[in-house]
C-alpha cells in the first residue's frame, strides 16, 4: 500500500522533471537557430541568472517545508496565511534582486573572453531575465505550494505540460517563422508565462492544495 501511494505521488514528479529538462533543451535549440553568438550570450546570461535565482529557489523550498509542515499538522488556515506571506515576500525580494541584476547586466559579460556581439546579446538576455524575475518567483512559489499539498499531477500539468504546450511552441514558431532577434523571442516566451501566473494564482486562491497528505 505504501509503495503504491509513493508511486502515485512520485511518478508525476519524476515525469515532470524529465519533460521539463527536455523542454529547456528544446528552448535552447530554438534560440540556437539565431547563431553561435546567441548561444554564447545565453550561456553567459544563464550563469548570472542562476546565481540571482537562488533567492526565489530558496523561498520556494521554504514553501515546501514550512507550509507542508502546517498542512501535516492540520493547520489549514495558518498554512494558507503563511503561504500568502511567503509568496508576497518572494516576489518583493526578487524585485530588489532584479534591480541589482539590471545594474550588473552591462558589467558581467565583460568578464568573458568572447566576441563583442556575444557580450551585447548577453546584456540583453540578462536584462530580460531580470525584468521577468518577480514573475518567475511567483510561479516558483505557487508551484511548490501545489506540491506541498501533494498535488503532483496538478504540478505536472502546471509545469512541464505548460512548457510543452505553450513555451516550446511559442519559441519554435518565432525562431523559425519570424525574423525576430533572439532576445525578443526570449522576452515573448517569458511573457507567455503570465498565463501560467494566472493559472497558479487561481489554483492557490481556490485552495486545491489545502490537503493533509499524511491522512490520505
CB-neighbour burial class of residue 93 (10 A; exposed 0-12, middle 13-18, buried 19+): middle
pLDDT value for 188 = 97
Is the confidence at residue 123, as pLDDT, over 60? yes
Residue 73 or 127, more confident: 127
Angle among Cα 23, 24, 27 to the nearest 5 degrees reads: 85
What pLDDT score does 211 carry? 82
In the three-class reduction of DSSP (H, G, I as helix; E, B as strand; rest coil), residue 33 is classed as coil
Residue 215 has pLDDT above 60, yes or no: no
pLDDT for position 150: 79
Residue 171: count other Cβ atoms within 10 Å of its Cβ.
Answer: 25
pLDDT for residue 3 is more than 80: no
Q: Is the pTM of this model over 0.95?
A: no
Question: Cell for 216?
Answer: 490520505
Containing 21, the helix (H) or strand (E) segment is helix 2-32
Cα-to-chain-centroid distance, residue 20:
10
pLDDT for 177 beyond 90:
yes
pLDDT value at position 214? 61
Taking the C-alpha atoms of residue 31 and residue 174, their distance in angstroms, rounded to an integer, is 10
CA distances from 80 to 63, 87, 92, 194, 207 (A): 11, 11, 18, 22, 8
The whole-angstrom separation of Cα 162 and Cα 13 is 14
Amino acid at each position: 500500500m505504501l509503495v503504491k501511494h509513493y508511486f502515485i505521488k512520485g511518478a508525476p514528479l519524476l515525469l515532470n522533471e524529465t519533460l521539463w529538462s527536455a523542454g529547456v533543451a528544446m528552448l535552447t535549440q530554438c534560440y540556437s537557430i539565431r547563431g553561435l553568438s546567441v548561444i554564447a550570450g545565453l550561456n553567459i546570461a544563464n550563469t548570472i541568472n542562476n546565481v540571482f535565482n537562488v533567492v526565489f529557489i530558496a523561498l520556494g523550498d521554504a514553501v515546501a517545508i514550512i507550509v507542508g509542515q502546517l498542512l501535516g499538522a492540520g493547520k489549514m488556515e495558518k498554512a494558507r496565511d503563511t503561504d500568502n506571506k511567503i509568496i508576497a515576500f518572494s516576489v518583493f525580494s526578487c524585485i530588489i534582486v532584479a534591480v541589482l541584476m539590471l545594474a550588473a547586466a552591462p558589467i558581467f559579460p565583460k568578464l568573458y573572453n568572447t566576441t563583442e556581439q556575444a557580450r551585447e546579446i548577453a546584456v540583453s538576455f540578462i536584462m530580460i531575465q531580470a525584468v521577468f524575475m518577480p514573475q518567475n518567483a511567483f510561479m516558483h512559489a505557487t508551484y511548490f505550494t501545489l506540491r506541498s499539498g501533494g498535488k503532483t499531477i496538478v504540478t505536472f500539468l502546471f509545469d512541464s505540460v505548460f512548457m510543452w504546450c505553450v513555451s516550446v511552441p511559442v519559441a519554435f514558431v518565432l525562431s523559425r517563422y519570424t525574423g525576430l532577434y533572439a532576445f525578443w523571442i526570449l522576452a515573448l516566451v517569458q511573457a507567455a508565462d503570465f498565463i501560467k501566473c494566472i493559472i497558479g494564482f487561481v489554483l492557490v486562491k481556490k485552495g486545491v492544495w489545502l490537503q493533509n497528505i499524511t491522512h490520505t
